[in-house]
Amino acid sequence: MTGCCNVFKVELRWPEQIATSNWFPPLVYTIFNGLLAIVFVAFLIMILSDSIPDIGAFWLIYLTNWALIVETIAMVMLCISTVWAYAKLPDGPSQGKAPLFVRYTVALWYLIQPLSLIVVILYWTLINPLWDLQPVDLLGLWAHLLNWLCLLLSFFASRIPWSFKNFIWGLVFLLTYLGWTLIHFFAQIGTPRGCELYIDPECPIYDAFDWNMPMMTTIITVFALVGYAVLAGLYTAFVRCRKCCFPTPVGEVETKDGPQNIETIENVSRVSDAVDDRQTDQKSIGDIGAFWLIYLTNWALIVETIAMVMLCISTVWGYSKLPDGPSQGKAPLFVRYTVALWYLIQPTSLIVVILLLGVNEAQPLNALEFSPQEACLFWDFLAFPGFFASRIPWSFKNFIWGLLLVRNWNWGRPQRVQTVTETECPIYAVFDWNMPMMTTIITAFVLVGYAVLAGIYTAFVRCRKCCVATPMGEVETKDGPQNIETIENAA
């Protein structure tokens, strides 16, 4: 029993092997995993929106789609785990055990690596063989090739350990799907479009994998499982190559600043213990816990990040749906929520920058260190060019969304102030409800200033329309502005 459990045991050094990369610095690697997660989520949404209206629940009978779901979940979990690990990167060697969520993430990562390749091989040899190739659109190419290339990039960029025994996770997945094919066969579920050889309920999921011909299907199953084991060995060779090409020198450990000598880190750590904690409110969750959520800047960062991820997904979705003629359709609910958040973050990002530079007690910006304060400013400024690049409509009334966010709460502060007790400390010293008159005046000025900024954005959008106008009688398509009459004649 112990040997069986060891096969499924996930062992790794937390947080170094999750947060660090062979190719990138830890922060860049965290962003890299975030982009991969966004790409996987965006393509899954497009595939679902393209397939579900046609075939409904039958979409779930195919191995490719099972793999896509698990791959997307795994990449989103890996993104979350990488951010978590980056926040926990130590100043010295780590001895901690990885959290359960992270171990589940790594188990799924083990599952999807060889699995994605076996799906590619099965598709291009049995379903759509290269020697009798049928046309494949972008979504089909993603599901049967491009996703594997992205996962291969993730494999070589990461430092997650791998050994041959890890193929057991994918093997369990394949055996589970094999069981599903038998259930499909005996329950006579059928397929969405039928087949030539049988009546609809008796049609196999794949014509080349047909339990009505058990001998041939058993042979294919054996070859597929043996081939999967061979691919697991290939990945074991990949990881040996990865170790040879990107070794970590002996006596060094990974930190946020890259490999560092252990003795040097320990000396620096002793010195840093004596540093004044005046900048506590600029630190992360690892330093101040849930108090991180009391600050307006951090509220804005969360909403801005969610909005930009949703805008990325909506843009990809919108591009795939661009018409050959004028569109009359109503935007999906997801897209309308995205635009509402986009309305929220535009003036809000600017007022956060103004407040951060003008009234925050934080230390002056340091050009040599990418501090949390500078990260807030950088991220807020990114929303501004996005406003001019887009064609999302804007009017003055849209400022109401951001008005909902510009508020404060009278919670405790994660550092002590001599004049009041700890639980009475204001979030910001300049915004103190212990002095209600001054705080009310500041609130009024901020809200009026926010309305002024909303008016400035309304002027910006008029400027945007003047500078980049679509000529009368034209409509936007994938090929750029086209004359409506020409499009209708072509249609």
Read off the pLDDT of residues 153-165 as tens digits, 9 standing for 90 and up. Answer: 999 999 998 888 8
pLDDT of residue 205: 87
Read off the pLDDT of residues 185-201 as tens digits, 9 standing for 90 and up. Answer: 888 888 888 887 888 78
* Of residues 441 and 216, more confidently modeled: 216
Q: Could you tell me if 354 and 309 are in contact, meaning their C-beta atoms sit under 8 angstroms apart?
A: no
Are residue 122 and residue 232 in the same domain, yes or no? Answer: yes
Residue type, 74: A
Structure confidence at residue 350 as a pLDDT band (50, 70, 90): confident
Q: Could you tell me if 439 and 431 are in contact, meaning their C-beta atoms sit under 8 angstroms apart?
A: yes
Euclidean distance between CA atoms 355 and 405, whole angstroms = 14
Q: Which of 208, 235, 255 is the last residue of a domain?
A: 255
Residue 436: HSE in the Cβ half-sphere, 13 Å Cα cutoff: 0
Residue 281 belongs to some domain of the structure: no
pLDDT of residue 240: 80
Report which of 156, 127, 132 is spatially closest to residue 143, judged by C-alpha positions. Answer: 127
Backbone angles phi, psi at 308, to 5 degrees: -70, -35
Q: Beta strands 474-477 and 480-483: pairing type?
A: antiparallel
pLDDT of residue 327: 61
Cα distances from 345 to residues 139, 298, 408, in angstroms, run 31, 13, 17
pLDDT of residue 66: 94
pLDDT of residue 164: 85
Residue 262 belongs to some domain of the structure: no
* Of residues 471 and 342, more confidently modeled: 342
Q: Average pLDDT of 111-131? A: 89
> Of 41-55, 260-274, 302-316, which gets the smallest average pLDDT?
260-274
Residue 279 belongs to some domain of the structure: no
Q: How many structural domains is the chain composed of?
A: 2
Euclidean distance between CA atoms 465 and 451, whole angstroms = 21
Q: Average pLDDT of 466-482? A: 54
Please report how the helices 100-122 and 147-157 are oriented relative to each other, as an axis angle in degrees rounded to 10: 140
Residue 278 belongs to some domain of the structure: no
Residue 284 belongs to some domain of the structure: no
Residue 175: HSE in the Cβ half-sphere, 13 Å Cα cutoff: 8
CB atoms within 10 A of CB 485: 10
pLDDT of residue 416: 40
Report which of 81, 60, 62, 70 is spatially closest to residue 113, judged by C-alpha positions. Answer: 70
Residue 273 belongs to some domain of the structure: no
pLDDT of residue 251: 44
Are residue 319 and residue 206 in the same domain, yes or no? Answer: no
Q: Average pLDDT of 271-286? A: 41
pLDDT of residue 273: 39
Which domain covers residue 447, as residue numbers? 291-490
Are residue 241 and residue 141 in the same domain, yes or no? Answer: yes
Element at 375 (helix H, strand E): helix 372-389
Does position 329 have pLDDT exceeding 60, yes or no? yes
Q: What is the mean pLDDT of the chain?
A: 74
Are residue 63 and residue 171 in the same domain, yes or no? Answer: yes
Report which of 431, 412, 430, 432 is spatially closest to residue 422, judged by C-alpha positions. Answer: 412
Are residue 370 and residue 481 in the same domain, yes or no? Answer: yes
Cα distances from 105 to residues 24, 99, 169, 468, 488, in angstroms, run 21, 10, 12, 46, 50
Does position 371 have pLDDT exceeding 70, yes or no? no
Q: Which of 255, 278, 305 is the last residue of a domain?
A: 255
* Of residues 373 and 426, more confidently modeled: 426
pLDDT of residue 450: 72
Are residue 213 and residue 328 in the same domain, yes or no? Answer: no
> Of 23-37, 217-231, 344-358, which gets the smallest average pLDDT?
344-358
Structure confidence at residue 265 as a pLDDT band (50, 70, 90): very low
Are residue 251 and residue 350 in the same domain, yes or no? Answer: no
pLDDT of residue 303: 81
Structure confidence at residue 430 as a pLDDT band (50, 70, 90): low
Residue 336 belongs to some domain of the structure: yes
Q: Average pLDDT of 78-93? A: 81
- Any residues with CB less than 8 A from the CB of 156 and at least 6 apart, and which? 22, 23, 238, 242
Structure confidence at residue 177 as a pLDDT band (50, 70, 90): very high
Does position 93 have pLDDT exceeding 80, yes or no? no
Q: Which of 255, 283, 307 is the last residue of a domain?
A: 255
pLDDT of residue 330: 77
Does position 364 have pLDDT exceeding 50, yes or no? no
Does position 418 have pLDDT exceeding 70, yes or no? no
Are residue 326 and residue 450 in the same domain, yes or no? Answer: yes
Q: Average pLDDT of 71-97? A: 82
> Of 21-25, 143-147, 399-403, which gets the smallest average pLDDT?
399-403
Are residue 33 and residue 179 in the same domain, yes or no? Answer: yes
The answer to whether the predicted template modeling score (pTM) of the entire model surpasses 0.75 is no
Are residue 219 and residue 100 in the same domain, yes or no? Answer: yes
Are residue 246 and residue 359 in the same domain, yes or no? Answer: no
Are residue 295 and residue 230 in the same domain, yes or no? Answer: no
Residue 276 belongs to some domain of the structure: no
